[in-house]
Structure 1
Amino acid sequence: MVKFLALTGLRYGELVALQTNNLLENAISIDGTIHFHSTTYDSPIRTTPKTQAANRIVPLPEKANQILNKILAEIEFLKQNNHYMDKDYVFTHINGLPIDYRTFAPILKKAARDAGITKNVTSHYLRHTHVSILAELNVPVKAIMDRSGHSDASTTLEIYTHVTEQMSENLIDKLDSFDY
């Protein structure tokens, strides 16, 4: 899940709302998000995304396709279990229900600590990382907005500006080290 989030820039709710009908050839269709009741783990509510811009098609890199293929094979295996509730979700517990963020977050935090990352890592951090990588690759802001489902350019530009400032600092370091 972590790698898939980093490769796609999805919001966590969009990730766990993915159903097999959202899987296209080398892309995914985002048309929903999942919210969980705070009182029970087994009550996911699938709703429409928070903005019209969040309804989108996200092209997938090959690594993301490989992750999906592996997960789909695992799902077929899990369906043999009598306790599997087939609701057509892709990223699920072994019972077939979407993975609640309260389950995912502590695992992500522990993995970050184990990797020596002291920053408070959340799924949104992975989304921010995805947008930052796209900015470093000089992907146009409009393309990043479309991919990430941002309805407001300022959200994307805030991340993009931070990255381009860092790129500018790196450029100066490189120029300073150049021997004329």
Structure 2
Amino acid sequence: MRPGRIIFLNGTSSSGKSSIARELLGILDGDPYFHLAVDGINAMRARKEIAPAALDRVLKRTRMGYHRAVAGMAAAGNDLVVDHVLSEPWRLDDCLTVLAGLEVFLVGVHCPLAELERRERDRGDRPPGLAASQYGKVHAHGVYDIECDTGTASPRECAELIKSHVESAVASGQGATAFGRLRRQMTRW
């Protein structure tokens, strides 16, 4: 049994990652893919007040657990679409380490800031300014297997672009390359 393939969507809050993931689940061929979202992991946490001094520690543990859940699902042979916000360097470093040996297609999900702010206001379920605070950080590493822009393309169009890229890379034997390039960069830091 081969380990599961991971399509890893990285973008700011409200960039359209979850919408793309839903579209991908409907069009990807082969065994069924699972959508494993960091928001889903956050939703499992008890709804009780966390002291501000403890919040960063709790969130870091949550993200680290999420990375390991992704690795575990893929190691068991499950194909995944994950969506995450790589807004802190340690998150990417941890993913590069924990997901080593797995095929991870890293997808940059972009969207213009003005559109992100509009979506955030319309959603009403995110703190105002969250996307703006992540905007300059999420794509700072600059290396992707494929990128899409939800400001100019629909979630379905982005999903079709991603599917086409993944199928082509797998068929050609090239596979995913971004995580390998980023790992090599990381060892030089």
State the TM-score, normalizing by the size of structure 2.
0.25
Higher relative contact order (CA 8 A, sep 6+): 2
> Which of these two proteins has the greater Rg computed from alpha carbons?
1
State the TM-score, normalizing by the size of structure 1.
0.26
